Structure 1
Amino acid sequence: MNLYIVRHGETKSNIEKRYCGLYQSELTEVGQAQGLALNERLSNIGFDKIYTSCSKRAEITADIITEGAYSYKDPRLNELNFGIFDNKTYKEIEKHYPLQCTAWQEDWKGYVIPQGESTFQAFQRVKSFMKDIEKLPEENILIVTHGGIIRLVYCYVLNENLDLYWKFHSSNGGLSILSYEYENWSIKTIEN
């Protein structure tokens, strides 16, 4: 099985360097162009299944890539729920929520953001999704999701090691290709 994982196209929140989880930030013209470039690049792949998060930015990116082919919306692919930090810059979070920001810095894996979730909780969602993917017979699967979720997929593939989260980067419109064979994941390509 080949897993083609794409980070959604650029949004206004991305440009402004905002933590954007459940907030619905729209694709920019650049974000739409990133989807079109992937459409051209992946046009020779026959995707057996397509999955996206429930966010419009991921759904629209998938629609551009696949020219509107049906996709399954899976909430396990939603970006980390940033709760009270959602759609705020780091400086805004520091200013308006100094105690919560400090607690988050001190325990970025386990701290549950008020009205949101922890990175560890998001990882459990990703792990559940990946376990289900491993059971599928399909050959080529497209996933359009978010930067934080893609990092968590890498952590899952690398022996569920959450400490590796900050060792990877995922750009808007970036493509990663993973392979699952003989009950083993391998990372074939990471392109940003």
Structure 2
Amino acid sequence: MKSDVWLLRHGKTTGPAALNGHVDAPVAESTQMRIRQALAQQGLADLQVVSSPLSRCLGLAKRLTDEAQIVIQPDWKEMHFGDFDGVPFDQIPQNRWIELEKFWENPEQYPLAGGETLAAFYQRVASCWGHFIGQLQTDTLVVTHGGVIRMILAQVLNLDWRNPALFTRLNIGNQSLTHLEVVTGEHDFVTVKTIGTQLFFTEGK
């Protein structure tokens, strides 16, 4: 059986710039409605919806379908960034920036204090993806996070999930769609059709 899976990264969050992982950073109502309108124009507003439980994803899902029809998937939350999760960059003490810099250079080798390791994050997402594929029966929109989409692509394409380039060079912008074609059967087969296609651009970008 063939199904289309659309991985949608949530809209741009409000508030100061930060590493928003498990923190429940909101998305403006106007942005949520603009995403919904863009999905409707592409014929994607009436699909089965699977969502991260965080409001920046679930808030949009609730605007797309009846809440009772949404499949909420906790394992597709963003990575947990420990001590830095949700802390505005301009409030991080100067003596702790070296930790962030090392993390960005090599997240597998230098996990953030109190945070999720990259290995644990990848295993969480990859396991959830395997379960999702096993249950897939129809075209589906997955409303999730940039890091989750990167780890799904690493699993699907058999890439090295430890490679920092997945985060520094693979652009998965806010309100962007990644389209996968999934054929399930005796041997599942996934084709990546598009990656990180913007529904629209925010001002200044």
1:8, distance to aligned residue in structure 2 (A): 0.9
Task: Specify whether residues 101 and 45 from structure 1 end up closer, same or farther in structure 2 by C-alpha distance, changes over 3 A only.
Answer: closer
Output the CA distance in 2 between the equivalents of 1:96 and 1:60. 36
Stretch moving more, 4-13 or 32-41: 32-41
Query: Aligned partners of 1:137, 1:147: CA distance in 2, in Å?
Result: 22
Equivalent in the alignment of 2:77: 78
Task: Tell me the SS of whatever aligns to 2:69.
Answer: coil
1:63 partner SS = helix
Distance 1:89 1:189 in 2: 32
Name the counterpart of 1:55.
54
**Separation of aligned partners in 2, 1:161 and 1:41:** 36
Once residues 94 and 102 of structure 1 are traced to their aligned partners in structure 2, the CA distance between those partners, rounded to angstroms, is 13
Distance 1:21-1:44 versus aligned 2 partners, 3 A rule: closer
The alpha carbon displacement at 1:46 in A equals 4.9
Quote the offset at 1:33 in angstroms. Answer: 3.5
Contact 1:155–1:161 (Cα < 8 Å) also in 2 = yes
Say yes or no: does 1:183 pair with 2:188: yes
Give the distance between the partners of 2:177 and 2:104, measured in 1 at CA. 29
Counterpart in the other structure of 2:135: 136
Cα deviation per residue 1:24-64 (whole Å; 9 max; x = unaligned)? 111124522432234413546652x4211110110011122
Q: 1:146 to 1:96 in 2, by over 3 A?
A: farther
CA drift at 1:5: 0.8
Q: Is 1:9–1:34's contact at 8 Å kept on the other side of the alignment?
A: no
Q: Supply the distance in 1 between the matched residues of 2:122 and 2:174 (Cα, whole angstroms).
A: 20
Counterpart-to-counterpart distance in 1, 2:34 and 2:151:
22
SS where residue 51 of structure 1 aligns?
strand
Aligned partner of 1:37 in structure 2 is: 37
Distance 1:42 1:110, change over 3 A: farther
TM-score (norm 1): 0.84
Q: Secondary structure in 2 aligned to 1:122?
A: helix
Kept after mapping to 1: 8 A contact 2:46/2:65: no
Q: 1:170 to 1:137 in 2, by over 3 A?
A: closer
Mapping 1:105-184, distance limit 5 Å: 105=104, 107-162=106-161, 163=163, 164-166=165-167, 167-181=169-183, 182-184=187-189
Please give the secondary structure, in 2, of the residue aligned with 1:17: coil
**Would the alpha carbon gap of residues 45 and 92 (structure 1) be closer, same or farther in structure 2, given more than 3 Å must change?**
closer
Aligned CA distance change for structure 1 residues 100 and 45 (closer, same or farther; 3 Å): closer
Determine the C-alpha separation between the residues in 2 that align with 1:110 and 1:34.
Answer: 39
Given residue 113 of structure 1, which amino acid in structure 2 is its aligned partner?
L
The residue identity in structure 2 corresponding to 1:52 is: S
RMSD across aligned C-alpha pairs, in angstroms? 2.4
Percent identical across equivalent pairs? 23
Q: Aligned equivalents of 2:100 and 2:156: distance in 1? A: 29
Count of residues in correspondence between the two structures: 189
How far apart in 1 are the matches of 2:120 and 2:38? 30
- The separation in 1 between residues aligned to 2:93 and 2:119, in whole angstroms, is 22
